[in-house]
Structure 1
């Protein structure tokens, strides 16, 4: 009997070892097959992949990896295969690739953002949401003279705030963001906020926290299966971020409730929320429609964040460049005097007559590359870029920094030179296709023209009455720090001296 038991026990042990060997063999075969499909790249660790090794200056790090592994390389990042595409030749091809229009299946920050915005959708839902969003925003003023007038009025208020300091040093960051956010608020909510409104101050806290904590290669996005644990342990400030985001969503609930109370037939469309509610009403009988309140809140939050934070940060860099290179400040002001004078407010049409001002804006966008890596894409089918294979469901990012600082495209790219965007007789500013500050292709930022309008109007309106400088003895640093966006490592206080 003991002998029989021993034989059974021996058989079970061998069977167990056989299953383990089979599992490991199958794992190794699949691992080798997966790796053989992918472009070359660095190795990582089990489960977390290369994620722990990615430096804070992610844009520099992936550019250096491209120099080692080639213009299209890959690595395992948490749970996902990530393919990084560098060089304009390959990025241009990828932007036109229909199989690279997808987004990751989770939200940008899983566990914090539970529902997808249009920016996180793929396929037909994304197309429908984008089409309705663009139509609605145009209907309520985007690209129209009324919107330009509203921005000009907001800039007047901002200039008055600056004047109130009477030449004293000013910390400009939060004043810029409060002003710029009012422009997108008009389109989304149908109204502006006072600079001391408690609601907008909460939004400002959320903006600052996002800038200070959220990295591009963040744990939540690449290890979504452990996000709930990360939030419970309050690691990486995710629980704080989630708390503030809930406060923002609570405000959005209030805004939507106020819009739904309007006594009208089919909603009078004055802003984006009105337009979405109207479309939602039309589609109420559609099964699985993405036109619902959760999507509305996420879309509104996405538009608000993208429409305020990126512009405010770009204007911060513009202030730094104006002070770092005062000769350009004088050239822009001379162009202002020659074109519109120092009294009339600038208008969008003035851009055509102010080539150096536009060249300065283009160079500011190139030199800083505020969004150095695009929002993650997902391959919806097996595809290729050049000779490099991109398997289905791998995540893809475009290194725009590498394009904007490629010596094959730009003469001395490490230098700040607005003149590079002027034609030979300096009568026209030329924007080449490889200036991709707002991405490109079908996923290009829908607010690109809105952004250029604001940047131009703020820049000219600030330089009309003021000469900008730093405090005496203070050095202007061009050092960068990257979280999701590239921000100044040190943003100095500025002095706005009235030139009258």
Structure 2
């Protein structure tokens, strides 16, 4: 049976989600004390970019590590330097695996029986299943090492983080192989893996989209920076208390999420009983997707659905529209992203810190390509690009 937070089903999913959400909140997720952690990572990241100004560079993998550090504080009570080679390697591995899963390997999800009939050389050379398997084992070893180190100093009466909370649960369930967190580590490793991937990939990919979009739309970038400058003194980084005074900036960030549609199919759901939708009968257990990208490009909801247009999220008086029908950046339903509140905080603080400090532009005589709709079925990465960062006065 699938384990973890993302792919599990039934009671394993519902109880695991409740457990994870409860303990992440206990350690600060969504609370104001997280702001200092996020601000520190954003400022540290911005400083690391100072040495790359005025020349074409890619947005480095330091971004992924800085974003990961926020959730990893809650999960493992650890922080990595933004140039940590091992963590960067695993972040690249996660991104690479996501791209592989979106390729021919997707067929094995759509038609599970194929793995029994397709020759090994097709699965390994065309679908790269052997590479995915090796990467999974290596990543599990990396996470298991972190868990084992936790066990050496684990105190069930003094939890430092999410891993400690699960280890206590495992101790309490010793001798019960059917427990949510049993002694074999499977559910713990998968859950931590899910949090690593979500914590390093989603916000960092959205931030890359924001940089690409605003580099392509310099007038929008300048208007946003003018608003930030009018509210935030240059001596300090933006804070969450500034959000209500930055409606245009917020609209830009929301519009970037709509335009990018990072998870074009949302997250997987399944029917819990046989249902009928119009003329279609869907048996119990049928996998369903809520296609968020279709909503994000529907002219029923958006005045200019195929354009980057922050005014989609502003009313006639320039006030932010906080609730917008057809906007589903964190998917929908009971499987909606459990880290939504943290992700919103991160996106605002990382983006505003970077754009307070730098102006982003394409290299001379180069345009930054913005990914076409529908190119990737599961995860819309922005195509790799280079950008020139200029320090702002």
Shared fold, TM over 0.5: yes
- Alignment partner for residue 278 of structure 1, among 161, 168, 177? 168
Moved more, 317-326 or 200-209: 200-209
| Pairing partner for 1:291 from 156, 164, 181 | 181
Unaligned runs of 5+ in 2: none
- Higher CA-based Rg: 1
Q: Report how far residue 169 of structure 1 moved.
A: 1.8
2: CA distance between counterparts of 1:306 and 1:231? 33
CA deviation vs aligned residue, 1:299-354 (integer Å, no higher than 9, x gap): 00001101211111111110011111111111111111121222221112221211
Structure 1 contact 173–312 (Cα < 8 Å) conserved: no
TM-aligned CA distance change 1:386 to 1:152, over 3 Å: farther
Deviation (angstroms), 1:386:
5.6
Between stretches 401-410 and 282-291, larger displacement belongs to 282-291
How many residues align? The count is 385
1:336–1:342 contact (8 Å) kept in structure 2: no
The structural deviation recorded for 1:244 is: 1.4
Alignment partners' CA distance in 2, 1:337 and 1:202 = 36
Cα distance change on mapping 1:288 and 1:167 into 2, 3 Å? same
Paired residue for 2:232?
A: 340
CA–CA separation in structure 2 for the residues paired with 1:205 and 1:212: 11
Residue 498 in structure 1 maps to residue 391 in structure 2:
yes
Matches within 5 A, 1:25-36: none
Give the counterpart of 1:203 among 86, 90, 108.
Answer: 90
Q: Tell me by how many angstroms 1:263 deviates.
A: 5.2
Give 3-state SS (helix, strand or coil) of 1:261's partner.
helix
Q: Is the 8 A contact 1:358 1:429 kept in 2?
A: no
Are 2:69 and 1:182 aligned? yes
Cα distance in structure 2, aligned partners of 1:220 and 1:203:
24
Deviations 1:409-466 (A, max 9, x none): 1112112111111122113342314211111222111011111111111111011111
- Name 1:486's counterpart in structure 2: 380
Q: Which residue of 1 aligns with 2:16?
A: 129
* Secondary structure in structure 2 of the residue aligned to 1:119: coil
Residues 1:227 and 2:115 aligned together: yes
Which residue of the other structure, out of 225, 235, 256, is the alignment partner of 2:147? 256
Instruction: Give the TM-score taking structure 1 as reference length.
Output: 0.73
* Alpha-carbon shift at residue 239 of structure 1 (Å): 0.9
CA contact (8 A) 1:118 1:130 kept: yes
Structure 1 pair 250–370 and aligned structure 2 pair: CA distance change class (3 A)? same
- Structure 1 alignment gaps of length 5 or more: 1-105, 108-115
Residues 136-174 of structure 1: CA deviation (Å, up to 9, x unaligned):
101111122332211111112111111012322221042
Q: Identify which of 257, 262, 268 aligns with 2:158.
A: 268
From the superposition, tell whether residues 152 and 424 of structure 1 become closer, same or farther in structure 2 (CA, over 3 Å). Answer: same
CA RMSD after TM alignment: 2.1
Match of 1:244 in 2: 135
CA distance in 2, matches of 1:482, 1:297: 27
With the length of structure 2 as denominator, give the TM-score of the two structures: 0.92
> Could you tell me how far 1:128 is from its partner in structure 2?
1.1
Deviations 1:64-115 (A, max 9, x none): xxxxxxxxxxxxxxxxxxxxxxxxxxxxxxxxxxxxxxxxxx64xxxxxxxx
